[in-house]
Amino acid sequence: ADILKIKTPALFVGVFKEGKHGVISKDLPNSAEIKNIIRKEFRCGLGDAYMMRDVPGFAAEKVVLIGMGEEDKFDMKALEDAHCAVTCFMEEYSIKEGVSTLLDEEALFKNHEEITLKDATIVAARKVHYSNYKYTSTFKEIPDHNVLKKFGFTTSKENTKLVKDAIATGKAIADGMLLTMQLGDLPSNICTPTYLGNCAKDLAKEYKEIKAEVLGRKQIESLKMGAFLSVAAGASEEPALITLRYTPTKKSSKKPLVFVGKGVTFDSGGISLKNKSGMDEMKFDMCGAASVFGVLKAVAEIGFDREIIGVVAATENMPSSYATKPGDVVTSMSGKTIEILNTDAEGRLLLADALTYVDKFNPEVVIDIATLTSAIIQALGHVHAGVFSNDEDLADALVDAGEIANDTAWKMPLDEQFAEKLKSNFADCANIGCGVAGSAVAAAFLEKFIGDYKWAHIDIAGVAWNRGDNKGASGRPVALLMAYLLNQ
Ligand code: BES
Ligand code: ZN
Ligand code: ZN
């Protein structure tokens, strides 16, 4: 379309940096004045915005330049950051309606063949859909904020279907992420294991392809999940073993894909009590579980041709006279005994039993997602999730998916030398190693309990939530997992 003729309160135009000067992403007939501004005032830094009113030649009331950074460095992150700038700008200036030309095929992709229109549209639509999310559940006074009501697009005739589908996909992923964020943000006195169980049942009510099953303490005892139960021992809250099962309308001969989530609704550390500083953050220790819910929701919205199962082991980790004590030995569902040297290394205990449990689904692939170790934050900060896998192709597929979705992950090692650190004098293994390479030792622990399937473990302790002013759940790694699924 001719962007000069677009009548809108705000027209967003992406501009790349080019040497000292910026350049309009599309060569506009009347761009001399804009180029002048760019030269003098606007640096086109990634995510920066610059507003101009009544620009000659433009039918739009305001033209807002959005910095896209350097063209050579353009990638999915730049695309997402630039779209974030659009929605942030609209929020800040209470702009109710606007047109974005950021996703300009010609300008964006001519020098970046590695980025497809489809993947870029998914990322952009996803960002636009969730970016104005505000947590409001536990406020009396709900802060005023813009929410996206309607979202349209225009493109060339031949791309119409592709773009339409990609927008629907992006929106579905955003809805999944919103569920993940919402659950992650809720405090542990509301978001209990029972609450998560009810959330699963709600998903089953909403989507006819999803069935939910919620097992309580008695049933978990019957399954002999001694490792899971040892974490729940100190909690008066009822634990829950939750299964969400998505079955496609058309029967598929493929083996199911299974996601397993750590659902510790509050991790006090148990008898190995955590330090008081930042302990509130441990309400986020169920973000693995929340991302499993997010994925199942997005899967049901998009529709897949194979069975996809989510299993969540949910409990609090609390100190009490019933709680597991350091040195206690428990028997896992697999029959292996575990000496619990530190009750704060609880995620791996419940995941151990969950990984044994899911073997009954005869899965092709099992991916567990967990806020498992603080050591992964030392290794990868809040930038990448850590991926450990017994299958190189699976690890690579997850890392690639992270790249496509701008929800990145880094491949980490899994080998026998880490497993050796878990030797115990009193049980088949201990639940902690010697204090170094904590994330790899935790992964090596999990591997002892897997069945005969391809398996990956994603440690999201560093990426599941944002710190600082932005404190709250991030919705990661739902987008990564969906990009992986869309590639299957
Ligand atoms: N939930 C924590 C890991 C965590 C820490 C997540 C910080 C997010 C932010 C986990 O249960 C834990 O406490 N892990 C211990 C293991 C240690 C005792 C071997 C850790 O990482 O310190
Ligand atoms: Zn812990
Ligand atoms: Zn934990």
Q: Which of 127, 217, 306, 348 is catalytic?
A: 348
Q: Strand 21-24 vs strand 10-18: parallel, antiparallel, or unpaired?
A: antiparallel
Q: Which of 115, 262, 256 is nearest to 183 (CA)?
A: 262
Mean pLDDT confidence for 106-110: 75
CA angle 356, 357, 362 (to 5 degrees): 90
Of the two residues 20 and 224, the one the predictor is more confident about is: 224
d(CA 296, CA 200): 10
Percent of the chain with pLDDT over 90: 80
163 and 117 Cβ atoms separated by less than 8 Å: yes
Mean pLDDT confidence for 133-153: 85
pLDDT level of residue 162 (50, 70, 90 thresholds): very high
Return the HEC string of 247-300: CCCCCCCCCCEEEEEEEEEEECCCCCCCCCCCHHHHHHHHHHHHHHHHHHHHHH
Mean pLDDT confidence for 188-199: 98
pLDDT level of residue 30 (50, 70, 90 thresholds): low
Burial class (CB in 10 A: 0-12, 13-18, 19+), 291: buried
Q: Check residue 37 and give its pLDDT.
A: 73
Distance 288 CA to ligand 1 centre (A): 13
157 belongs to the catalytic site: no
Q: Which of 458, 439, 462, 466 is nearest to 375 (CA)?
A: 439
User: Residue 31: is its pLDDT beyond 70?
Assistant: no
pLDDT level of residue 21 (50, 70, 90 thresholds): low
pLDDT level of residue 483 (50, 70, 90 thresholds): very high
User: Residue 367: is its pLDDT beyond 80?
Assistant: yes
User: Residue 24: is its pLDDT beyond 70?
Assistant: no
Q: Tell me the two tokens of residue 402.
A: 């992270």
Q: Whose CA is nearest to atom 8 of ligand 1?
A: 461
Mean pLDDT confidence for 144-159: 84
Each residue of 309-349: pLDDT tens digit?
999 999 999 999 999 999 999 999 999 999 999 999 999 99
Please report which ligand is nearest the Cα atom of 379: 1
Q: Check residue 57 and give its pLDDT.
A: 81
d(CA 225, CA 219): 9
d(CA 97, CA 309): 39
Fill in the amino acid letter for 347: G
Burial class (CB in 10 A: 0-12, 13-18, 19+), 364: middle
444 and 151 Cβ atoms separated by less than 8 Å: no
User: Residue 25: is its pLDDT beyond 70?
Assistant: no
Q: Which of 274, 325, 411, 454 is catalytic?
A: 274
Which helix (H) or strand (E) segment is 231 a member of?
helix 226-232
Q: Which of 345, 390, 347 is nearest to 366 (CA)?
A: 390
Q: Which of 188, 324, 344, 377 to mutate to test the pocket of ligand 1 (most atoms within 8 A of CB)?
A: 344
All residues at 6 or more sequence positions from 475 whose CB lies less than 8 Å from its CB, including other chains: 130, 176, 177, 178, 180, 181, 184, 291, 294
Q: Check residue 22 and give its pLDDT.
A: 57
Fill in the amino acid letter for 294: G
Mean pLDDT confidence for 13-23: 71
Q: Tell me the two tokens of residue 146.
A: 């813009």
| Beta-ladder partners of 13 | 65
348 belongs to the catalytic site: yes
User: Residue 23: is its pLDDT beyond 80?
Assistant: no
Q: Whose CA is nearest to atom 3 of ligand 1?
A: 373
Q: Check residue 38 and give its pLDDT.
A: 73
Dihedral sign computed on CA atoms, order 480, 291, 307, 250: negative
Ligand 1 site residues (CB inside 6 A) read 267, 285, 342, 344-347, 371-375, 432, 438, 461
Each residue of 215-225: pLDDT tens digit?
999 999 999 99
Place of tokens 């659902």: 263
Place of tokens 């899911």: 358
d(CA 396, CA 31): 44
CA–chain centroid gap for 241, Å, is: 21
d(CA 484, CA 402): 8
Residues, the chain? 488
User: Residue 105: is its pLDDT beyond 80?
Assistant: no
Q: Tell me the two tokens of residue 261.
A: 């989530």
Q: Which of 3-17, 305-319, 347-361, 436-450 has the lowest mean pLDDT?
A: 3-17
233 and 324 Cβ atoms separated by less than 8 Å: yes
Q: Which of 33-47, 63-77, 224-238 has the lowest mean pLDDT?
A: 33-47
d(CA 327, CA 39): 67
Q: Which of 149-153, 265-269, 381-385, 446-450 has the lowest mean pLDDT?
A: 149-153
All residues at 6 or more sequence positions from 117 whose CB lies less than 8 Å from its CB, including other chains: 105, 109, 159, 162, 163, 166
pTM of the full predicted structure? 0.96
Q: Quote the longest CA-to-CA distance of the chain.
A: 80
Q: Which of 4-13, 34-43, 462-471 has the lowest mean pLDDT?
A: 34-43
Q: Whose CA is nearest to atom 7 of ligand 1?
A: 374
Each residue of 231-268: pLDDT tens digit?
999 999 999 999 999 999 988 899 999 999 999 999 99
Please tell me which of 76-90, 107-121, 151-165, 390-404 the model is most confident about, judged by mean pLDDT: 390-404
Q: Which of 268, 374, 460, 465 to mutate to test the pocket of ligand 1 (most atoms within 8 A of CB)?
A: 374
Q: Which of 471, 474, 448 is nearest to 183 (CA)?
A: 474
Each residue of 440-473: pLDDT tens digit?
999 999 999 999 999 999 999 999 999 888 899 9
Q: What is the DSSP string of 131-188?
A: TT----TT-SSPPP------------GGGHHHHHHHHHHHHHHHHHHHHHHHHHHS-T
Which helix (H) or strand (E) segment is 13 a member of?
strand 10-18
Mean pLDDT of the chain: 93
Distance 257 CA to ligand 2 centre (A): 27
Of the two residues 35 and 447, the one the predictor is more confident about is: 447
Q: Check residue 28 and give its pLDDT.
A: 61
pLDDT level of residue 148 (50, 70, 90 thresholds): confident
Mean pLDDT confidence for 29-38: 68
* C-alpha R_g of the chain: 24
Mean pLDDT confidence for 101-119: 84
Distance 264 CA to ligand 3 centre (A): 6
